[in-house]
Structures are given as structure tokens and as C-alpha cells.
Amino acid sequence: MKFLFTATLAALASVVAASPTPTVNIQKRATADDVADIGYATTNGGTSGGSGGTTTTVSDFASFSEAAKGDAKKIIIVDGNLSGEGSVRIGDNTSVLGKKGATITGINLTIKGVKNVIVRNLVLSKVVGGDCITVQEATNVWLDHLDISGDLSVDKDYYDGLIDITHAADWVTVSNVHFHDHWKASLVGHSDSNADEDTGTLHVTYANNKWTNISSRTPSIRFGTGHIYNNYYSTITTSGVNTRMGAIVLVESSTFVDAKRAITSLDSDITGSAEVRDVDLGGSTNDAPEGSFGTVPYEYEAVGAAGAEAATAGAGATLDF
């Protein structure tokens, strides 16, 4: 009996020794000096925000507005719950980071005519008559790990967009964001009549985002180039990805659940096109004209439609600065 027990232990040891070491995916802890490492924001020289600059902590609208001015490198830490009306204009070379639990309610963040801006780890909601985040005439912008919402119980125009990227903005990444409970989520290119300004710009990546209880614009893109991957959609009631006015999008490695017109081309006289790879439509439809997107100028990991839900499990303001 002793010999049998010893032999069994030896056999088990042999199996363990021969087995490969399991791979553990450990996410790097977020820091205030992080630079963009995903999507179009990594191109055109990259997006570093205020990395290496001075750090200011703000807890009210006035101090936030003041700290955001200018083009010097700066890191702004939002601490606590800010609410009110109005807009904070974000200057060049700025990182706006939410401390754990930080919220901004009713206040618009405007990134206009500037470059090199990062916004991360904030809960943003309910800007009456405006967007939660407006990006216009800006380049190299990274919007990451945000929880952003409105209210479906009000009229669809009571609040505007959650994140709108317009007026020839370029080299933008929207990643790890939870969009939820809103009528019109995210618009790229504001008008059918703005071809002269927008054509050749509006390169935007949407990666690892979760969209829940949204009516439309997940996103809607005019004129631009959109790379949409590792996204998970649940309850899209009017339309999902909408490619318009010659826009070309690549939708891949994503899943739709309970979605109406998951991928489409609506509401403009000129359609856009979509190339679709490894997408689970969940019984919905793709009626967008088929396009050939080509390649993107950055490396990325597509998890596949089956992995999209897991890839977005950490979406939202889930970091800890």
C-alpha cells in the first residue's frame, strides 16, 4: 500500500511539472501620468495629456474651471460631487481624472480647439440642453473609463449627446466607457452640410465600451473613419451603429443583445458603409452598405464576439487614482 501511495504521488508530481504555467491577465494599475495606449489617440504623435505636469485637486465648479485653463501641462484631480450648470473649457496638455467616486452632474466638459487632452474615471450625467462631453476642432483626445448617462423618462431633446465629436476633431479614442439610459448617445460629425470641414478628419476609435438602454447613436458617424471593436450592446431601441455621409466604419469583435437595427445607415441623403467582422447581431440586422475599411495605424486585440461582454466588464468609472 505504501509503495502504491508513493508511486501515485510521483505520478502527480510528474503531471504538475509537465503542465504549462497558467496565464494570468493582471491589469496595470492606473496612474495620473498614464498616456493613451489604445486606438487613434495613440497616433499623430500620441496623447499624453498633462503627464509630468503640475497636479491640482478641485472640488467645485469655479476651481475646476480655473485649473483647466491654459496650455501648460497639468493634471486635474476631481474630488467629490460637482453639480450645477455651465461648461468647463479644457485647455491643451491636460489630464482630468476623477478620484474614486467623483461625479459631475449638469456640467458640460468642452474640449475645443485644443490638443492633447485626457479625461478618465468620472461619472458624468444630465447636462440640460448640451452634451456631457463636447469635442470640437480638437486633436489627440483620450476619453477613458467613464460612466456617462442621461434620463430616458424626459423628452429626447431635453439632454443632448453623451459624447459628441464634431467640427473636424481628429485622432480620438473612446474606451472602457459605460454609456447608459439615454436617447442620443454619441455623435461623430454634427451635420450633413459640414463636408468641407469634416472630410478627411474624424478618426475615432470606440473600444471596450458597454452600451445599455440607449435609443440611438452607438455611435452615429458622418464623414469620418470609425473603428468600433470589443463593444457590448444591450437594449438598443431605435438604432445602433449608424454610418452616414460617406463615413466608413469597421465594426468587429462585438455583440448586440435586444437591439433594433444594430448596424445601419439612416437619416442622411448619402449613406456610409461598414465592414463587419466577427459580430454577433443577436437576431438584429445589418443593413448598412458593405465597405472595405482596410487597416488601422495601431496595434489592437480583438477578443471576438464571444468575448465582448467580458471585455467590457470593467467599463465605467472603475479606476482608483
Cβ neighbours for 13, distance < 8 A, ≥ 6 positions apart = none
Pick the catalytic residue: 89, 120, 217, 261?
217
d(CA 269, CA 213): 28
Residues paired with residue 88 on neighbouring β-strands, in sequence order: 109
**Is 217 one of the annotated active-site residues of the chain?**
yes
Buried b (16+ CB within 10 A) or exposed e, 23-53: eeeeeeebebebbbbbbbbbbeeebbbbbeb
d(CA 232, CA 230): 7
Q: Using alpha carbons, select from 319, 321, 254, 316 the residue that is nearest to residue 286.
A: 254
d(CA 217, CA 243): 10
Asked whether 196 and 166 are in contact (CB, 8 A), the reply is no
- Identify the residue whose cell numbers are 463587419: 276
Q: Give the catalytic positions in this structure.
A: 217
